[in-house]
Amino acid sequence: MSSLKDKTNRQVTIIGGSIAGLTTGLALLKHGWDVQIYEATHGELEHRGAGIITHDALFDALKKLDVTSKDQIGVPIRTRKAFDKHGSIVRTIELEQIATSWGRLYQLLRNQFPTERYHSQKVLTHLEQSNESVSVQFADGSTIQSCMLVAADGIRSTVRQLLEPEAQPEYAGYVAWRGLINEHELSAYERKELFPYFTFCLPDGEQVLSYPIAGEQHQLSEGYRRCNVVWYRPAAKESTLQDLLTDIDGNNNGESIAPNKVKATTIAHMRQDAKKLLSPQHTALIGKLRQPFIQPIYDLTTACMAHGRIALLGDAAFTARPHLGVGITKAAEDSLCLANALNSYTSIVEALKHFDKQRQSKNRTWVNQSRELGAYLQAQLLSETERQHAMIHRTTEAVMCETAGLLK
């Protein structure tokens, strides 16, 4: 058997150049692999996404990738506050965390990864593997061959659909309305009483939250940061969801909608509902969102993260609802585990089997825990037992402690 110590057996193709692709690229480069990343999108992705709550486990992983120190990443938050419909504070808890933007994390990873190894506008369409290698074909007709392939191509992963078509994202029954407000657009009251905190308002079967994040150019200084707002709302699959996903041109792909294509009437209805349901403070934030966008929430699990010489990781393998705030930590841990496994075995196939064994259980637990936290937000009816179980995570105390709280 040829050894993995031999450089000619160490070429790896990574499909997807977002968080999981970059953390894997960096981890494998560190171990001497010849890495090439292929990303479908044209240009930089850093303006994608919105707020991200971090965990110590993420900082541990970033440290191992030599990415950055903790204080460069985001905005520290010390306190969480919940408001009722009338604007009174009903609960306060202390929990120190750092909030940042998806773009800030992407930028830190991207700056660390060699440009000549990152190829944009490369959409994988087809793949084949033999005992020796994996060949892939891109939409532009080009092909490449390498010893192994990593699928970091997200929740709608083409690679996963080719290998494990039965693993499909399952709509959770609710959507997240998301948006950002520049710090200087907040009133003096909002800057003092809301902006520095992780805030909540919990109308029946819904959940809105806000927290401060880095600015558009990743600034962390006062006056230049942004307020991140998320509002989880039930949306029945066959009715409300279809209306929300129908864009300004009348198109609907049934799965997602581009941020700049949400209909003005849809946004106006959402803002009207805020007045009826939310605290005056959160209603005002919702009114100030520049370009509110919609993300339907999905669960995804796969039976296996290892398929011969192909590894699935990040959201391509397991997608957890956002309530634990674990997606990026999960991607980074998958990447490090894969690199360690490849370093410890002489066979890629055996290393990938070990990687799958190591990561399956934790990833599955996170998906299940996130599903439990969000169950009370679902549009579909729950059985009495499910409803009772969901209600454990519905109290103000539970939502405040468990949402992106300390990971077990």
Ligand X SMILES: Cc1cc2nc3c(=O)[nH]c(=O)nc-3n(C[C@H](O)[C@H](O)[C@H](O)COP(=O)(O)OP(=O)(O)OC[C@H]3O[C@@H](n4cnc5c(N)ncnc54)[C@H](O)[C@@H]3O)c2cc1C
- Residue 359 within binding range of ligand X, rule CB under 6 A: no
- Residue 292 within binding range of ligand X, rule CB under 6 A: no
DSSP 204-241: TT-EEEEEEE--TT---STTS-EEEEEEEEE--TTTHH
- Give buried/exposed letters for 157-190 (b at 16+ CB in 10 A, else e): bbbbebbbeebebebbbbbbbbbbbebeebeeeb
Cβ of residue 323: shortest distance to ligand X, in angstroms? 9
Q: In sequence order, which residues have a C-beta less than 8 Å from that of residue 56 and are 6 or more positions away? A: 407
Using only C-alpha atoms, what is the Rg of the chain? Answer: 21
Cβ atoms < 10 Å from Cβ of 343? 16
Nearer to ligand X, 203 or 327 (CB): 327
Cβ of residue 276: shortest distance to ligand X, in angstroms? 23
Q: What is the token pair recorded at 291?
A: 């370009």
- Residue 404 within binding range of ligand X, rule CB under 6 A: yes
Cβ of residue 319: shortest distance to ligand X, in angstroms? 7
Interface segment toward ligand X; rule CB under 6 A; list 148-156, 208-216, 235-243, 300-308:
148-156
Interface segment toward ligand X; rule CB under 6 A; list 36-44, 272-280, 342-350, 355-363:
36-44
Kindly state the number of chain residues that form the binding site for ligand X, as judged by CB under 6 A: 39
- Residue 16 within binding range of ligand X, rule CB under 6 A: yes
Q: How far apart are alpha carbons 120 and 41 in whole angstroms? A: 6
Q: How far apart are alpha carbons 181 and 185 in whole angstroms? A: 7
Nearer to ligand X, 267 or 377 (CB): 377
- Residue 149 within binding range of ligand X, rule CB under 6 A: no
CA-nearest of 374, 367, 357 to 315 is 367
CA-nearest of 235, 216, 210 to 404 is 210
- Residue 154 within binding range of ligand X, rule CB under 6 A: yes
- Residue 331 within binding range of ligand X, rule CB under 6 A: yes
Among 207, 210, 281, 329, binds ligand X (CB under 6 A): 329
Among 46, 190, 315, 333, binds ligand X (CB under 6 A): 315
Residue nearest to ligand X (CB): 327
Q: List the x/- string, 213-252, binding to ligand X by CB under 6 A.
A: -----------------x----------------------
- Residue 332 within binding range of ligand X, rule CB under 6 A: no
Interface segment toward ligand X; rule CB under 6 A; list 34-42, 141-149, 194-202, 251-259:
34-42
Listed in sequence order, the DSSP H helices in 31-119 are 56-64, 102-112
Q: How far apart are alpha carbons 368 and 378 in whole angstroms? A: 15
- Residue 262 within binding range of ligand X, rule CB under 6 A: no
Distance linking the first and last C-alpha atoms of the chain:
40
Nearer to ligand X, 4 or 27 (CB): 27
Cβ of residue 385: shortest distance to ligand X, in angstroms? 28
Listed in sequence order, the DSSP H helices in 345-395 are 348-374, 384-392
Among 12, 28, 29, 40, binds ligand X (CB under 6 A): 40
Instruction: Give kind and range of the element (H or E) at residue 279.
Output: none
Among 176, 186, 227, 338, binds ligand X (CB under 6 A): 176
Q: What is the 3-state secondary structure (H, E, C) of 149-160?
A: EEECCCCCCHHH
Interface segment toward ligand X; rule CB under 6 A; list 47-55, 236-244, 251-259, 351-359:
47-55
Q: Which of residues 49-108 bind ligand X (CB under 6 A)?
A: 49, 52-53, 102
Q: How far apart are alpha carbons 200 and 326 in whole angstroms? A: 19
Nearer to ligand X, 42 or 276 (CB): 42
The pairing of strands 124-129 and 89-101 is: unpaired
> Exposure of 1 by Cβ count < 10 A (0-12 exposed, 13-18 middle, 19+ buried)?
exposed
**What letter does residue 319 receive in the DSSP assignment?**
B
- Residue 322 within binding range of ligand X, rule CB under 6 A: yes
Give the type of residue at 324: L
Distance of CA 238 to the CA centre of its chain: 25
Among 46, 153, 183, 299, binds ligand X (CB under 6 A): 153
- Residue 289 within binding range of ligand X, rule CB under 6 A: no
User: Which residues here bind ligand X, judged by CB under 6 A?
Assistant: 15-21, 38-41, 45, 49, 52-53, 102, 122-124, 152-155, 158, 176, 178, 230, 295, 314-316, 322, 325-329, 331, 404
